[in-house]
Structure 1
Amino acid sequence: MTNPNLSNGNATFSHKEWWVERWLELLDSYRFKKRLERARIYAREGKILSIEFKKAKVFAKVQGSDINPYQVSLSLVPFTDEDWHYIIESLAEKAIFSAELLAGKMPENIEEVFIKNGLSVFPFTLSDINACCSCPDKANPCKHIGAVYYQLAEYFSEDPFTIFKLRGRTKEQILDALRQLRLQKLNQQKVLKLTKNKNSLTEITETSNHQAEEFKTLDLTKFWQYKGGLDSSLIVIVPPSDDQTVLNILGRITLTYEEARIAQQYLQQVYKNISQYAVMEALNRKI
């Protein structure tokens, strides 16, 4: 598709965006400065009649000294599908990358994503760019190719995704892949949360069922029985607050005085022994 945003002769190519400067640094490294100056003039004067992207390749028509415009083609080595898979995964890890790209900005540290995957979004030298022109000039880049370089800088300034297009992915493809990956991760988080909630519910249900089974097997006739030993440190046994015993509460024994006295003494001794035995039994001690 042909991009109509071509230079109308007023372009200055004085960009502040760091990604555009990175692209122009390649041209500045070219030793034939006069050739580059003519290329810049060609771009400024609107000599580029059209630029068309076909997949990862650029095709341009540049009006030169001949009647018919020269045909220029330019491309970078596109990344493989596997490369882009890892790049998209790395981009999705930080939402700031997607946000800035959508805002028309190239994140300053985005190159780290490509370096992490053993790649470089920008070519290192002009020789990394595959370019050819139908003009008779054997030099590469000629002024027609150079003009296309400068015009692409304008494209990069307007839309950073143009750089990625040269590596094999359009803006729509990258953003769609990012959305799908982020949606996939959100779904995974939802499934994980549902699984966790389901496990918690299952655990609660199993506990409730276990308690219900225990209640069914509970013998209410033995509810108050306790077979375990008591901690003696938790038991405090004190004598009655007065001298009254069960014998005193029961009152006088209906016998003769002497018989009642003898019986009372005997029962008091028995009561004393039983009380002592009860205390020792409570403390789990042998008499």
Structure 2
Amino acid sequence: MARPVLHPRLAARRSMVRATTWWGKAWVRAVEEAAYAESELVAARVLARNGHVGQIATEPGRFVASVEDRRGLWTVEGAVPVLDPADLGVLVEAVAAESGRIAALLAGDLPFGLVEHADEAGVELLPYGGELGSSCTCDHWADPCVHALAVLQQLTWLVEADPFVLLQLRGLSRDDLLGRLHERTVEPTASDVPTDDEPDLEAAVEAALYAARLLQEAVPESADAE
């Protein structure tokens, strides 16, 4: 099982940073759907903007973080449904359908065509509001509470910067995806040999694995949780 990833704490920001990518905006819509009131969304954005959310740990189906406000320090545990094995297979096939998709993911981009491809096959990668569950040590009755909404807001920025955060929450880590793609190219059949008109997936996967190793050696963006 993949180990949790502990993401660096995000510093306070002078102004509210809005989602700029199409998938970030889709995540924000889900958060807004999950909220009970606009006032709670506003309060959550203030907490997130002012740096009151601690480091966020993510793993398949789960995220954990602490949030501090004037009343104390609270622990938020959130849940995102993990795709079942069949759906994960469909998602891997969608990535493999075009050699440029894995390179785009490694570069911090989530191709719309990839998500559309998976959606047409019955697999929804981006969650909707009702799928974002949470619990908090505070005494608020709502789910999600303001603290959970603040963590979800911070997750927006993490997901925008690295779509693999979203894939990991859905049950497919970067290493798992690269490993599955690599396995597809180990023993190709005659029908799998690319023609002049077909992308060479094996070359693309090897390039992606090499790029991933370089990224990890140069600037590790996150560290494993203890």
Q: 1:73 aligns with which of 72, 77, 81?
A: 77
Residue 20 of structure 1 and its aligned partner are, at CA, apart by: 0.2
Q: 2:144 aligns with which of 141, 146, 166?
A: 141
Q: 1:167 aligns with which of 152, 170, 187?
A: 170
Alignment partner of 1:2: what SS? strand
Q: Which has the higher contact order (CA 8 A, sep 6+)?
A: 2
TM-score by length of 2: 0.76
Residue 64 of structure 1 and its aligned partner are, at CA, apart by: 2.3
What does the per-residue CA deviation read over 1:200-220, in whole Å, with 9 as the maximum and x for residues that have no partner?
Answer: xxxxxxxxxxxxxxxxxxxxx
| 1:2-17 alignment, distance < 5 Å | 2-10=6-14, 12-17=16-21
Q: 1:153 aligns with which of 141, 147, 156?
A: 156
Q: Count how many residue pairs are aligned between Structure 1 and Structure 2.
A: 189
Determine the C-alpha separation between the residues in 2 that align with 1:12 and 1:77: 28
What does the per-residue CA deviation read over 1:110-143, in whole Å, with 9 as the maximum and x for residues that have no partner?
Answer: 222322332211122x221121111111012211
> Which residue identity does 2:80 align to in structure 1?
L
1:49 lines up with 2:59 in the alignment: no
**CA separation of 1:178/1:65 partners in 2, compared to 1, >3 Å: closer, same or farther?**
same
> Which residue identity does 2:186 align to in structure 1?
Q
What does the per-residue CA deviation read over 1:16-70, in whole Å, with 9 as the maximum and x for residues that have no partner?
Answer: 2100000111233445111100000000111112211234310111112333x21
Residue 13 of structure 1 and its aligned partner are, at CA, apart by: 2.4
Match of 2:106 in 1: 102
Tell me how large the CA RMSD over aligned residues is.
Answer: 2.2
Alignment partner of 1:59: what SS? strand
**CA separation of 1:96/1:180 partners in 2, compared to 1, >3 Å: closer, same or farther?**
same
8 Å contact from structure 2 (residues 12, 50) kept in 1: yes
Structure with more helix by fraction = 1
TM-score by length of 1: 0.60
Match of 1:188 in 2: 189
Determine the C-alpha separation between the residues in 1 that align with 2:111 and 2:95: 11
Residue 90 of structure 1 and its aligned partner are, at CA, apart by: 2.7
Identity %: 24
8 Å contact from structure 1 (residues 79, 168) kept in 2: yes
Structure with more strand by fraction = 2
Rg comparison, structure with higher value: 1
Match of 1:208 in 2: none
Unaligned runs of 5+ in 2: 195-226
